[in-house]
Structure 1
C-alpha cells in the first residue's frame, strides 16, 4: 500500500502514528483534484481525506483551518480538520505538509446537472461565506481595498507569443502542442478584435472583503441537492465579492460546448442577495473583468510547459470554448448578472 510516485511519504505508518488512526486498510489516490494531491484513507478509526499542501505556507494553512469551526456557527457547511496527536492541524511528514479531514460523501455536479433551485442555494452559501468572514468574531484582519489593473493587450500578446515561439522550436510537436498553437493563434485574433472592450484601469467597483477564493465545483460537495461541504480553503483572500460570484457562476453553469446557463446565473445572484447585498453595477464590472482575465490569460500553459504538470491541459481547451461563447454573448452575460 503506497502513495503514487513520487512518494510524498516513506510509508503510511508515520501517518497512522501521527493521528492515532490504527490499521490503515486502504489508501486511494484521488486523481480529479487540480494542482493538489489528495487521498482517501480507510482506517480502523474511520475514513478520511488527506491533502498535501502545495504552494501554501503551513502557518497560513493552520490559520485558515482554524477559521472553520467559527464558520460552521454561521451556517457555512464546512469540514473541520482532524488534529494530530500533537494538537496540530497541519503536520510535516517526509518533507511534505499535510492535513486530515473526515471523509464526506458527495458529488461535484455542474453544467446540465444544475437547476435554478440548486443555483439559488449555491448563491446563498457564497453570500453566507462572505458575510461570515467579515464578522469581527472571525478575527481576520480588516481587509484593504484590492487594486491591480487589468492585463494590457500588449502583455497578453507577448505572453501568447512566447508560447507560440516555444512550440515552434519543438522538433516533434505533440498532438497537444499542435492543438494549443491553433488556439493561441485564434486567441491573438480575438484579442485584436475585442481589446477595445477591456475594462478600464480603475479600481473594481462594489463591496470587497475576505472570501473563499476558489469557490468552484471541485470545492463544493453536494448531497441531496444541497451543499454538504465547502472544502479547500487554501486560497482565502481579499478581493471584490463580485469576482467570486462571477467566477463561481461561470464555472458552475458552463456546458460542454462552452455555453453558460444564464437562467442559473440569475438564480445564483438572487440566492447571494438573500444573504448579502451587492448591486448590479458591481456584478457587471466583475463580469467584464473576469471575461477579460480569461481572454488575456493562458495560465494553464505555465504548468504544461514550465512545470511539466499536465493536470490542467483539458481546462485550457474548455476555457477556450467558454471565452469564445462569452465573447459572442457579452451583453447577455452581463444582463444576467444584473438581473
Structure 2
C-alpha cells in the first residue's frame, strides 16, 4: 500500500489532541496515493483525511492551504485545512508536514460517461475562473522546464523503438514553449484524474489531491484532464466524452484562438509529462510495496495523440 510513513496510534492521538475533535475511533492508510501518505481518520466529531506531505518543500504548503481556502470560499467542493483550537493549520507529524482535512462524500468513477465528463469540465472551468484574476503563483515542479531536463536523461533507459516518440515530443515542447507560456493563465489542479474526483450518484461531490497544483496555462490543465477522463481502452479520445467535457468548460470560459491552435500539441505535452513522471516513479519504487501506475499507458496515449480529431469548441 502507498503509505510511505506508517503511524502508530499513540503518535496520531497526540497529534490530534489540539483539534478538540473528540476521541480517535479508528484510522487506516489509503492505498491509492502515489506521492504522499494519506490516512482516513474517524473521530467522534466526524470523518477526516490526514495527509503527510512526502514530496516537495515545506515552503510550498502555505500556497496549498491558501488555494484550497479560496476555492472553498468560492463554493467548490474541495478539502481545506482544519485549524487547531489555536488556529494552526500546518503542523508536523513524523517529521513531515501534516494537514487534517474533512473527508468529502462520494466515490471515484472507474467508467466515465459524458455526464461525468460534463460535470468535470464545469468544475475545472469554475476552478480557473475563481483564480485567474488573482493568481497564487507557484511554479510547477513537473512543468516544461522539468520535461526538457528529465526527458534526455530518461531516454538513456528506454528501448530504441521508444526513442523517436520521446525525441519528437521533447522537440515540440521546446519549440512551442514561448507560445504555451503566453496562453491565458490561472491556478491549475494539474492532476485532475478520475481518482482525484468524487461523485455522489450523478453529482460531482468533491475534488481532492491538490499537491501538484500550480500556476500556469489553463489549457494545460484541461489537456491533463481530457487525457484521463476521455481516453478509451485503445487510448484514443472518445468523441462523446471529449465533446461533453470541452463543451461544459467552454460554456463558462470560452477559448481563445491561440488556445485552439495549440490544443493538439498540448494534449501531447500533457501525455509526455505523465509518461516521464511515471517512468521516474517506476524506477524509484521498483520492488517496493507502492502503487506505481503504468508508464506505458501515457506512452501509448502520446502515440495516439499524434493525430487529434477533437478540436476545441467555440474558439473566439
Judge same fold: TM > 0.5, yes or no. Answer: yes
1:198-246: CA deviations, max 9, x gaps? 3534321531222223222222111122221222222332211110001
Deviation at 1:336, TM superposition (A): 5.8
Give the aligned partner of residue 123 of structure 2.
Answer: 125
Give the aligned partner of residue 299 of structure 1.
Answer: 277
Give the aligned partner of residue 203 of structure 1.
Answer: 179
Give the aligned partner of residue 175 of structure 1.
Answer: none
Matched, 1:225 2:202: yes
Give the aligned partner of residue 223 of structure 2.
Answer: 246
Q: Which whole-Å CA distance do the structure 2 matches of 1:59 and 1:151 have between them?
A: 23
Q: Which whole-Å CA distance do the structure 2 matches of 1:189 and 1:196 have between them?
A: 10
Deviation at 1:131, TM superposition (A): 0.8
Matched, 1:212 2:189: yes
Name the larger-Rg structure.
1
Query: SS at the partner of 1:314?
Result: coil
Q: Which whole-Å CA distance do the structure 1 matches of 2:150 and 2:80 have between them?
A: 41
Residues 286 and 18 of structure 1: CA distance in aligned 2, closer, same or farther (over 3 Å): farther
Deviation at 1:156, TM superposition (A): 4.1
Q: Which whole-Å CA distance do the structure 2 matches of 1:236 and 1:59 have between them?
A: 14
Residues 289 and 312 of structure 1: CA distance in aligned 2, closer, same or farther (over 3 Å): farther
Query: SS at the partner of 2:305?
Result: helix
Query: SS at the partner of 2:124?
Result: helix
Give the aligned partner of residue 98 of structure 1.
Answer: 98
Residues 190 and 316 of structure 1: CA distance in aligned 2, closer, same or farther (over 3 Å): same
Give the aligned partner of residue 169 of structure 1.
Answer: none
1:114-149: CA deviations, max 9, x gaps? 22222222111111111111244xx74699xxx957
Query: SS at the partner of 1:12?
Result: helix
Residues 46 and 295 of structure 1: CA distance in aligned 2, closer, same or farther (over 3 Å): closer
Query: SS at the partner of 1:263?
Result: helix
Superposition map of 1:133-152 within 5 A:
133-136=131-134, 140=136
Residues 313 and 103 of structure 1: CA distance in aligned 2, closer, same or farther (over 3 Å): closer
1:138-171: CA deviations, max 9, x gaps? x74699xxx957966x98455222x25xxxxxxx
Give the aligned partner of residue 11 of structure 1.
Answer: 11
Query: SS at the partner of 1:104?
Result: coil
Query: SS at the partner of 1:291?
Result: helix
Residues 148 and 160 of structure 1: CA distance in aligned 2, closer, same or farther (over 3 Å): closer
Moved more, 119-128 or 197-206: 197-206
Is this contact kept in 1: 2:137–2:214, CA < 8 A?
A: no
Deviation at 1:279, TM superposition (A): 2.5
Matched, 1:319 2:298: yes
Deviation at 1:88, TM superposition (A): 1.2
Q: Which whole-Å CA distance do the structure 2 matches of 1:4 and 1:35 have between them?
A: 9
The normalised TM-score by structure 2 is 0.81
Is this contact kept in 2: 1:265–1:336, CA < 8 A?
A: no
Superposition map of 1:148-163 within 5 A:
156=151, 158-161=153-156, 163=157
1:41-62: CA deviations, max 9, x gaps? 1122221111111223445323
Is this contact kept in 1: 2:247–2:313, CA < 8 A?
A: no
Query: SS at the partner of 1:31?
Result: coil
Q: Which whole-Å CA distance do the structure 2 matches of 1:310 and 1:285 have between them?
A: 39
Is this contact kept in 1: 2:260–2:312, CA < 8 A?
A: no
Gaps (5+ residues) in structure 2? none
Computed over aligned residues only, the root mean square deviation of the Cα atoms, in angstroms, reads 3.3
